[in-house]
Structure 1
Amino acid sequence: MTTAISELFERYHACWADRDPDRIIEFHTADSVFHLHSGQGPVRGRAAIREAAAGTFALVPDLSFHLISLRVGADFWVVQWQLTGTSSTGKHVCVDLADYVLVQDGAVQEKHSYVDGVAMQAALA
């Protein structure tokens, strides 16, 4: 099962790396939850997740993900990233992020992203 989860991670991450919200939501269950733990509440459902992803890419149009660490289990993955890019205001972005993703029936059921909020606010201010 961890091979299937690893392969799902790779395909899902490719959509984020391509900054493609339409492809991202194809990997989510219909009732999926995405929660960027940076002061706002979770969003639910594919349409809301698409909007949240598109909003992220609007804030940092050239967003890049640098893999630090990945752990995969039978129905989850945990990954540590360093995100870089240039904010829509022209500031350099370099923040740490950790994702905890729960998988159900081969799709993302929940995605919890924990970001270095101080660094993110400084980059987007």
Structure 2
Amino acid sequence: MTATTRDLFERYHACWEARDPDRIAELHTVDSVFHLHSDQTPARGRAAIREAVAGTFELVPDLTFELVSLRVGEDFWVVQFKLTGKSASGSAVDVDLADFVLVENGAVKEKHSYVDGMAMQAAIGPVEACA
């Protein structure tokens, strides 16, 4: 484990807890990929990542993260969280999330998030397609 990667994790996680899409996107590389593996297209680049993150906070405005497990290496971290909150539709959110994050030059290069899709869908309800 490196202090640099652990420090990046701490700063990145603090931005998620603060629900700050701008600061989250800034901690990604310019060509970074953020992929929520729940049948969504990967967000590529800071602007798209910012938009994807903001969308998450719109779905669950009071999203909280309970750290379950964290492993940090030279250029990666793997973390497990319990996500809780109340969805915009008023339903309780209580789902498991695992993140695999690759780091390059002190920034997030790739973030792959694996969430309990069935539990999340039940909490947020059907998502309407954009016209």
Q: 1:38-83 CA distances to partner (integer Å, 9 max, x unpaired)? A: 0112110000000000000000000000000000001000000000
Aligned residue number for residue 69 of structure 2 = 69
Counterpart of 2:31 in 1: which secondary structure?
Answer: strand
- Report the alpha carbon displacement of residue 107 of structure 1 after superposing the two structures with TM: 0.3
Distance 2:8 2:26 in 1: 12
Specify the alignment match of 1:118 in structure 2.
118
Q: Name 1:42's counterpart in structure 2.
A: 42
Q: Secondary structure at the match of 2:35?
A: strand
Name the SS for the 2:53 alignment partner: helix
Structure 1 unaligned residues grouped into runs of 5+: none
By how many angstroms is 1:15 displaced?
A: 0.3
Query: What TM-score do the two structures reach when normalised by structure 1?
Result: 0.99
Paired residues, number = 125
CA distance in 2, matches of 1:42, 1:28: 14
Counterpart of 1:58?
A: 58
Structure 2: 5+ residue runs without aligned partners? Answer: 126-131
Find the residue that maps to 1:80 and give its secondary structure. Answer: strand
Instruction: Report the 3-state secondary structure (helix = DSSP H, G, I; strand = E; otherwise coil) of the residue aligned with 1:40.
Output: coil
**Distance in 2 of aligned mates of 1:78 and 1:90:** 30
C-alpha separation in 2, matches of 1:25 and 1:43: 11
What SS does the aligned partner of 2:61 have? coil
- Is 1:92 aligned to residue 106 of structure 2? no
Identity of aligned residues (%): 73
CA RMSD between the two structures: 0.7
CA distance in 2 between counterparts of 1:50 and 1:26 reads: 9
| Amino acid paired to 1:95 | V
CA distance, structure 1, for counterparts of residue 86 and residue 123 of structure 2: 8
- Counting only pairs closer than 5 Å after superposition, residues 2-17 of structure 1 correspond to structure 2 as 2-17=2-17
Within 5 Å, give how 1:10-29 maps onto structure 2. Answer: 10-29=10-29
Q: How far does the alpha carbon of each residue in 1:63-115 deviate from its partner, in whole angstroms, 9 at most, with x for none?
A: 00000000000100000000000000000000000000000000000000000
